[in-house]
Structures are given as structure tokens and as C-alpha cells.
Structure 1
Amino acid sequence: MGDDAYACQGSRRLERLTWPAFQAAAQTCGSTVVWPFGAFEQHGPHLPLGTDALFAEQILDQVLETFPQEAPIWRLPLQSIGFSPEHLGFPGTLSLPAELLIRSIETVGAQLAAAGFERLVLFNGHGGQIALLQVAARQLRAAHPSLGVLPCFLWSGPKGIGELIEEPERSEGLHAGQVETSLMLQLNPELVGP
């Protein structure tokens, strides 16, 4: 791949490439796009509405920094509003319909496949849309067999993470609990309320 695509990419963001650099990136052997997904929902009275989105974006950026510069991996802009109907009773929660989110993934994925990208990773920070992204990935893969699609949930990643989470949070869910609060204190302590 030409140096122009890497020179333009900044922090591996596709939106910072020119169209010729985008075309060159798509045609690179092993070309992979990661799309971070979050949510815009209540996280208790002490964490920001964009908690899941902040986690997905910041952790993805830190991981991408560990790859060699020549690795053919780029990212899409964050999809910060997700599928959160279970939280609509709380002020500030915004949620997209499942059909709209699935259709968006299918549409963008089809365009990436047409451009020549080989892989799409759906990097998800919101537990309420795991199954939805799995469905979107299967449908996209069926429609575009040349595109490998992998839904990936942030909290399912590191081996052994489950053993670090205390009960009852491990069995009842992470939402706005000690684990999310601890991670936010590490990444953005100024955003954690009392």
C-alpha cells in the first residue's frame, strides 16, 4: 500500500483519508475496518450518558496505537447512539430502533465490501445490543461473503475478566456498577459524579 494512505490517516480514522487513500486502503491485503458502537443512556446518577460510547472509542484508540504503523487497520467514526429501549424511562436516554441500526450496519458494510475491504469488526461497548449486532453481522456476511464480519463486545474481551468482577455484579450485570465506574475513573475521572 502507498505511503499516502498512512500519511493522511492521522489516528487510523477513515474519515481523515482522501478518496484515493481510502481506495488504496481498501485494496490492501488484510484490510480491516473497526466500527465502534456505544449507547446514549443513563448510567446511574454518577456516570455520563455516553459511558458505553466513551469506553468503546477510547479503548479502541488505545488498542489501535499498539499496532505497527503498516498494519492495514482503520476505524470508522463512533456510532454513539445505539439500541437502548430498556432505558427510555430515564431522561437523557436516546435510542434507535433495532431495524434502523441493523440497516445502517448492512448499508455501511455493503459499501465497505464494494470498496474492497476484507474485514469489518463491530466493536461494541453496550451490552444491550450484543444480540442485535450479532444478527446484523450474520445478515451482512450472508449478503457479502467476501467481507468477514466480527461482532465484538468490550466486556467479553480479556481472558479472565469475569473472575475479577465481584458478585452480585458478575451475575446481575455491569451497568453503572463498580466495573464501569472503575473504568471511567481510569479513563475520564472528571466525568464521575458523587
Structure 2
Amino acid sequence: MPQQRHLEQLAWPQVQELAAQPGSTVVWPWGAVEQHGPQLPLGTDGLFAERVLDAVLAALEPSLPILRLPLQSIGFSPEHRGFSGTISLPPQVLIEQLVAVGHELAGTGFQRLVLFNGHGGQISLLQTAARQLRAERPALAVLPCFLWSGPEGIAELIPEPERSDGLHAGLAETSL
């Protein structure tokens, strides 16, 4: 991953210059710390989000004003609290955090924020936060994306009943 794509590794004048360019975009990967069966690490969702995002960013034209934020590794996973190691934040905390970060990015001049989510349990939460942020900062386009619903043709690669019953800790996640 080229260092120049990580917002936190740039100096503020570089960020200011990139934010002022047409189409300036920040991608924020989201994951969770929760059980993924006995065979996978707690950070599986974030691992997928970061790996896919870094591969996409590495393939982009270097001059594009597209940066990424560090992974938001702790998410909303209350349904997994019975498993050791699961850490779940309350929904209002995550919404407030997302809106606050969005305000900062908009204030810097960024035009777009993509929420690149690897955890299915917080899809609606990120959609809600995105709507709130757009209402407060209409100049900032906010797009929540879910890793497993984006790529065309991915559904055909996942066998039934996993496709209809859910991906969590199944064959697809385990094989990846």
C-alpha cells in the first residue's frame, strides 16, 4: 500500500492540497471485534475490509485524490457478547464518532466519504449515520458500502445454504 494513500501518514499541507482537488475522497474501512467461529480471528471483518481496500487503492492512478483512514476496528456487535473477546460499542457512540469525523473531513474540504464496511451487523447503523451526516454537511457525499454486497458476481461464488443463511464464519470467510 503506497504510503501517500494513508491520511494519517501525510503532513497537513499535503492533506490540504489533496482535499482541495475535484473529487477528493476519503475511504474509511470498518470492521468489528467479534467471534467468527472457533477457527477465525476476532478481527476477521476488519481484515477483509483493509485487504480489499488496500488492493483497490494500490491499483488506482497515483494522482487521484483518494485517501484512506485507519481501520475502525471496533464496531457494533451486541449479538456476539456471549463470546470471549467480543467488543461492541453502543450505536449512538459509533454514530456520533462517524458524524464527528465526517464534520472534520468536510471542514478540511473533502467532497466524499466512503464507509467501506466488512461487518454485516452494522450495515443499517452506518446507513443511519451517513444520512445524519449528509443532513448536517450536504456538501459531503457519504456512501456506505458493504464488502459482501458490492462485487458483481460474488453471490454465485458462495454455495447454498450459506448464501441465503449468512456468511458469518462460513466457508467463504474461512477460505479467505
1:165 aligned to 146, 158, 162, which one? 158
Q: CA deviation at 1:11?
A: 4.5
Q: For 2:3 and 2:83, how far apart are their aligned partners in 1?
A: 37
Determine the structure 2 residue equivalent to 1:87. Answer: 80
Determine the structure 2 residue equivalent to 1:116. Answer: 109
1:134 aligned to 127, 133, 152, which one? 127
Runs of 4+ in 1 over 2 A off after TM superposition: none
Determine the structure 1 residue equivalent to 2:21. Answer: 28
Give unmatched runs, 5+ long, in structure 1. 1-8, 184-194
1:86-116 deviation digits (Å, cap 9, x = unpaired): 0000011001110000100000001101111
1:43 aligned to 36, 42, 48, which one? 36
Q: CA deviation at 1:60?
A: 0.4
Determine the structure 2 residue equivalent to 1:69. Answer: 62
Report the more deviating stretch, 119-128 or 23-32: 23-32
Q: For 2:49 and 2:4, how far apart are their aligned partners in 1?
A: 15
Instruction: Within 5 Å, give how 1:139-158 maps onto structure 2.
Output: 139-158=132-151
Q: For 2:10 and 2:4, how far apart are their aligned partners in 1?
A: 10
Verify: 1:99 aligned to 2:92, yes or no. yes
2:167 aligned to 159, 174, 179, which one? 174
TM-score, normalised on structure 1?
Answer: 0.88
* RMSD of aligned Cα (Å): 0.9
Q: 1:69 is matched by which residue type in structure 2?
A: P
Verify: 1:53 aligned to 2:53, yes or no. no
Give unmatched runs, 5+ long, in structure 2. none
Q: CA deviation at 1:40?
A: 0.2
Percent identity over the alignment is 68
Q: CA deviation at 1:141?
A: 0.5
Q: CA deviation at 1:69?
A: 0.4
Q: Which has the larger radius of gyration?
A: 1
Q: For 1:137 and 1:114, how far apart are their aligned partners in 2?
A: 16
Q: CA deviation at 1:22?
A: 1.2
Q: CA deviation at 1:58?
A: 1.0
TM-score, normalised on structure 2?
Answer: 0.97
